[in-house]
Amino acid sequence: MKMKTAKLMIKLALVIAVAAFCSGYFGKSYQQNTAEYVVRKGDTLWYVAGQYFGKEERTDHFGEFQWRIREDNAELFADGRQLQPGDVVKVRYYTVTTKQ
């Protein structure tokens, strides 16, 4: 009986630790930011993503970051359309906020 109780307590402690970690209890939370980039002649999605990727504090790969920008601005890329000067690209990126 004592062994079952000990195993149950260990499982409960693990669940609490995972929940605390996922909730940001250990001091980190992510802040979503949105910027608007006005496209200039010669700009590409690669270039635009590169302007904001360094600010990103998540583990996204650069390709995933570009894909998110493309999805958020689907109308600018519809039917194979390329970016044009004057287009406004919305860029969603995340930064870390430290809890105290």
The pLDDT tens digits of the residues spanning 13-29 come to 676 766 656 655 566 67
Q: Evaluate whether 16 touches 43 at the Cβ level (below 8 Å).
A: no
- Residue 17 has a pLDDT of 65
- Residue 72 has a pLDDT of 96
Is residue 69 scored above 80 in pLDDT? yes
Distance separating alpha carbons of residues 42 and 48, to the nearest angstrom: 11
Q: Residue 87 phi/psi, 5° resolution? A: -60, 145
Is residue 82 scored above 90 in pLDDT? yes
User: What percent of the chain clears pLDDT 90, i.e. is strictly above it?
Assistant: 43
Q: Residue 68 phi/psi, 5° resolution? A: -65, -40
Q: Which residue from 81, 95, 92, 94 is spatially nearest to 34, judged by alpha carbons?
A: 92
User: What percent of the chain clears pLDDT 70, i.e. is strictly above it?
Assistant: 71
Distance separating alpha carbons of residues 54 and 68, to the nearest angstrom: 15
36-42 average pLDDT score = 97
pTM for the full model? 0.64
